Structure 1
Amino acid sequence: MQFNVYSLVVLIATLIYSHSSDCATWSENEFHFQYGKLNQPFAEASGTTLSTSIFTFQHASAWEYGSNFFFADYSSTSLGDELYAEWYPAFSSKALLNANYDGVLSDVSFVMGINMAPESDVLKYLPGIQLHLDVEGFQFLNVLITAYLDDSEGINAGGAPKEDDSWMVDIAWRYPLNLSSQQFYIEGHAEYIDERTSEIPDAIVESWVLAQIQARWDAGQTFFNVKDRLFLGIEYQYWNNKLGTKEEDSVVQALAVWRF
């Protein structure tokens, strides 16, 4: 499965990028670099933290009938490297069904998400809906509600334990701030995934809350007079019951973002 998932990550990125070039009404691609000391919940000693470098490719775009969001993280520590990716293609009910919405709700999309972790042979499907909210001041504010369906191969295939199915709620946003002559953005997401059992007898994968909040400064505008290209800042990560354990992350990471 590892080869297949790696191939799927590359295929998704290629399809999204080529599609966004030809068909998108708008498209945004970013490379992120983050650095901080993150908790390692499966280390031998509880509370083990390691310096972690994370390189991310992130893509968001819209087209006539919906949108795409995709990211792939490559994480590196002294214990090794890891790849993780998520893809959320969404189809607009306003565009497909001519639905009309009033007030704060601007659209409802049908979503089919995929989460992939090749090293641990983890594969999840996340069918659901996304509520697009029109709130003053926000560039976007979306609420995603999905099932969390496991299609991993499990311990016998050399991967992480298979899990029962569950559900997820995720809130994502971007809020611009103009302070004096400087442009800032507060953006990120917060998710809740409910608890589930695994193929290990009597084992519970704990429910978790993960919040990743970025404070970005538009450094490119200040240094090079090029807006929305180079950002510097921090990302605060809070993760209780990290990866279903009883471990916790509460850490600030250095952040640099290149948008193209």
Structure 2
Amino acid sequence: MKFSQKKCLAAATLAVSALAAQSGTAHAATWSDTSIGYRWGANFAEPFGRNDISKSIVNLTHASGYKYGTNFLNADVLMADSKDPSAPGSKSGSQEIYIVYRHTLDLGKVTGNDFKFGPVRGLGLTAGFDVNTKNDAGYNSKKRMIVAGPTLMMDVPGFLNVGLYYLWESNAPYSKFSHTQTDRYSYDPHPMLNLAWGIPFNLGPVPLSFEGFANFIAAKGKNEFGGNTAAETNIDMQVMYDVSPHLGAAPKTFKAGLEYQYWRNKFGNNHNGPAGDGAFAKTTMIRVEYHF
């Protein structure tokens, strides 16, 4: 299946808008933050492929809170160069849409009880999903994943959430080499330790924020081709600077910064096995955001 960059962005925008509207209708928001961002890096990697792939990524992100909890929704449109081709022998790069949604129910707000102890300010239950579709020369991922589990909300400036979630993941890839469709395959349910944070700090007189997430994911049994999977580490973090005052805009409207991603055994592929160095990404990116 072929799809253009414009179609990728349109599909992601519609998906995010629909879900955000649905969340807003069900729960009147007490706060919200929506942003459009762009990031670029030259050292992305793909299992069984290369580790020097350039990608441009456009994202649409929505976070909001209501009386009993929070919503988070992000859609990435990833556009690679020809080192990750869209078809065998093609000079055009692959395109991918990746959507993440999480809802966290604050148990303290729901029950009226105080779950604060030590460094923890609250306890929540989180549920959500990941969905992707990718148009590339080899695997053509069609990931579907359900996520659920408890979340500790830490007592820090900004926020730091620590969750222990169970994952139910499946995929149904299509090989452009053999022109064969793999039936949707479900991996073994497996746990994930997740950290997500956004913490403001100052470097001298310069106000900055440290943002990102870290996923430590257990192996998920056999893959759809009968091979073993490996435990996976995906850490994505950025330091952002609020450039709004220099542009005559309201605070926190425009941000710019540097991002770094450390992704070992990407998608559960052992980088010491046939997946090779492409399953171990260490990528520096530039990032800009517009918040509204």
Matched length: 250
Matches within 5 A, 1:16-55: 16-17=20-21, 19-20=23-24, 23-44=28-49, 47-55=50-58
Letter in 2 for 1:230: F
- Unmatched segments (≥5 aa) in structure 2: 1-9, 86-93, 135-140, 175-179, 272-278
Residue by residue, what CA displacement relative to the aligned partner does 1:184-210 show, whole Å, maximum 9, x if unpaired?
A: 111111110101222322x12211111
Letter in 2 for 1:116: V
TM-score by length of 2: 0.78
Residue 70 in 1 paired to residue 73 in 2? yes
Matches within 5 A, 1:1-260: 10-11=14-15, 13-17=17-21, 19-20=23-24, 23-44=28-49, 47-78=50-81, 79=85, 80-103=94-117, 104-119=119-134, 120-135=141-156, 138-153=157-172, 157-158=181-182, 162-196=186-220, 197-201=222-226, 203-224=227-248, 226-245=250-269, 246=271, 247-260=279-292
Letter in 2 for 1:164: D
In the TM superposition, residue 38 of structure 1 has moved relative to its aligned partner by: 3.3
1:205 aligns to what SS in structure 2? coil
Residue by residue, what CA displacement relative to the aligned partner does 1:116-159 show, whole Å, maximum 9, x if unpaired?
A: 01232210101111111112xx2001001110102434667547
Residues of 2 paired with 1:157 and 1:41: CA distance?
Answer: 20
Letter in 1 for 2:76: D
TM-score by length of 1: 0.87
In the TM superposition, residue 97 of structure 1 has moved relative to its aligned partner by: 2.0
Question: Which range moved further: 14-23 or 69-78?
Answer: 14-23
Question: Which range moved further: 16-25 or 112-121?
Answer: 16-25
2:224 aligns to what SS in structure 1? coil
> Looking at both structures, which has the greater relative contact order when contacts are Cα pairs under 8 Å and sequence separation is at least 6?
2
Question: Which range moved further: 9-18 or 188-197?
Answer: 9-18
Contact 1:122 1:160 in 2 (8 A): no
Greater strand content: 1
Residues of 1 paired with 2:67 and 2:186: CA distance?
Answer: 37
In the TM superposition, residue 223 of structure 1 has moved relative to its aligned partner by: 3.2
Letter in 2 for 1:33: Y
Q: Deviation above 3 Å: which 4+ runs of structure 1?
A: 6-13, 17-22, 151-162
Q: Give the percent of matched residue pairs that are identical in Structure 1 and Structure 2.
A: 22
Q: CA RMSD in A?
A: 2.4
Question: Which range moved further: 29-38 or 219-228?
Answer: 219-228
Letter in 2 for 1:115: D
In the TM superposition, residue 98 of structure 1 has moved relative to its aligned partner by: 2.1
- Unmatched segments (≥5 aa) in structure 1: 1-5
Letter in 1 for 2:252: D
In the TM superposition, residue 178 of structure 1 has moved relative to its aligned partner by: 2.7
